[in-house]
Amino acid sequence: MFERLDFQAPRRPDVSASRTLRQWHAEICALTQERWGTLISSEFGLKPYRIEPAMERRAFMNIPEKSIGAQLSVGSNDDSTLIVMSDRLSRVLVEAVLNIQGDDWPEESPLSPGEMSILEILIENIADAISESWPGAKTIPSRVIEYIQRPNRSRLFSPGTDLLVAEIQLTTQYGEETLYWLMPKHPIEDLIVQEFGASTIRLHDVASSMIPLAEKIPAEIVIELGTADIRMSDAAALGVGDVLKLNQSVYKPLTAFVDEQAKWKVNPVTIGTRVGMQVIQMIND
């Protein structure tokens, strides 16, 4: 299996680091469910869904607009991470602790100070699970720093920061919702290296080595002169000297393709005894 390179997105952690992350992810879900089970009497379930790399801007585009976040420091270097859940999910969890039952998702509404205290206890359980579930020889520090309203508008991570987004599926009597944990990619990889000696490949290392190679790959440019729709019988009857009228106007530019992708609008020109092209317009993907 080959991974498609995308120089605009962070590279996935290597196999060893990914295995450690998945183990940690699963244990966090199991321990959080155990802790929440002492507070919530109704049936619910937490399970790890996926861990995906994403740049800071794209990661925040994928989390709910109406949500609440908790900044957590993780590890001995106090690296900032972010737990995010939708306002709807936070309301469901608080009402589950209060044993308020309903037939449908509750309406979104601001949490009162007392309700917010309940949510804080639940999130502190997650912070404890992150610490105790670390698959190393000892637990790692993990604590809540502050709570953030509308975390997708926060500036917790610098623009362009590479993140790892761990998603947890939470099933309640109303259906499924997603809880997000955003972590800075490189510090978490360093944490794994320090503990387990796993090797990780940084995005800038990959880019510095792969981009020069990619630039040397030959690419074929094809200029489309035009197209025509004719019957098969007419095509079979074409012979030397016949003229076929194309749908391309002589007053409009031609389309240039690279690997079957339209890239430019061009005008044909002559360069000595050869035909050439002059780019007059870029075609956006």
- Per-residue model confidence as pLDDT tens digits over 143-168: 999 999 999 888 899 988 999 999 99
Query: What average pLDDT does this structure show over 125-130?
Result: 97
- At 166-217, the pLDDT tens digits run 999 999 999 999 999 999 999 999 999 888 875 444 445 555 556 676 677 7
127 pLDDT above the threshold of 90: yes
Among residues 204, 36, 247, which one has the least CA distance to residue 123? 36
Work out the pLDDT band at 44, boundaries 50, 70, 90: very high
Q: Residue 84: in which H helix or E strand, if any?
A: strand 79-86
Assess whether 125 and 263 both reside in one domain.
no
Neighbours of 86 (CB within 10 A): 19
Among residues 261, 211, 284, which one has the least CA distance to residue 6? 211
Assess whether 129 and 243 both reside in one domain.
no
- At 82-105, the pLDDT tens digits run 999 999 999 999 999 999 988 888
In a domain, 5, yes or no: no
Residue ranges making up the domain that contains 196: 15-211
Domain C-terminal end among 211, 239, 265: 211
Q: The tokens of 128 are what?
A: 């404890």
In a domain, 6, yes or no: no
Q: From residue 134, how far is each of 28, 191, 195 by CA, in Å?
A: 8, 11, 10
Query: What average pLDDT does this structure show over 218-229?
Result: 86
Work out the pLDDT band at 71, boundaries 50, 70, 90: very high
Higher confidence at residue 26 or residue 197?
A: 26
In this structure, are residues 166 and 51 in contact, taking their beta carbons and an 8 Å threshold?
yes
Residue type (1 letter), 47: K
Q: The tokens of 165 are what?
A: 């987004």
Assess whether 139 and 162 both reside in one domain.
yes
Domain C-terminal end among 211, 227, 247: 211
Assess whether 160 and 95 both reside in one domain.
yes
| Percentage with pLDDT > 90 across the chain | 51
Average pLDDT, the chain: 87
Domain count, the chain: 2
Query: What average pLDDT does this structure show over 37-43?
Result: 93
The pLDDT assigned to 201 comes to 47
Assess whether 224 and 193 both reside in one domain.
no
In a domain, 263, yes or no: yes
Assess whether 177 and 260 both reside in one domain.
no
Residue 15: which residues within 8 A CB-CB, separation 6 or more? none
Assess whether 255 and 201 both reside in one domain.
no
Q: Which CATH number does the domain housing residue 263 bear?
A: 2.30.330.10
The pLDDT assigned to 211 comes to 61
3 φ, ψ to 5°?
-90, 130
Assess whether 177 and 41 both reside in one domain.
yes
In this structure, are residues 34 and 137 in contact, taking their beta carbons and an 8 Å threshold?
no
In a domain, 235, yes or no: yes
Assign 188 to helix, strand or coil.
Answer: helix
Assess whether 182 and 224 both reside in one domain.
no
The pLDDT assigned to 203 comes to 46
Domain C-terminal end among 195, 211, 227: 211
- State the Cα–Cα distance between residues 108 and 115, nearest whole angstrom: 13
223 pLDDT above the threshold of 70: yes
In a domain, 1, yes or no: no
Query: What average pLDDT does this structure show over 45-64?
Result: 92
**The residue count for the chain:** 285
Q: Which CATH number does the domain housing residue 32 bear?
A: 3.40.1550.10
Assess whether 47 and 179 both reside in one domain.
yes
The pLDDT assigned to 11 comes to 79
The pLDDT assigned to 30 comes to 96
Assess whether 241 and 198 both reside in one domain.
no
Strand partners, 81: 72
The pLDDT assigned to 225 comes to 86
Assess whether 106 and 230 both reside in one domain.
no
The pLDDT assigned to 4 comes to 47
In a domain, 3, yes or no: no
Residue type (1 letter), 246: L
The pLDDT assigned to 108 comes to 84
In a domain, 126, yes or no: yes
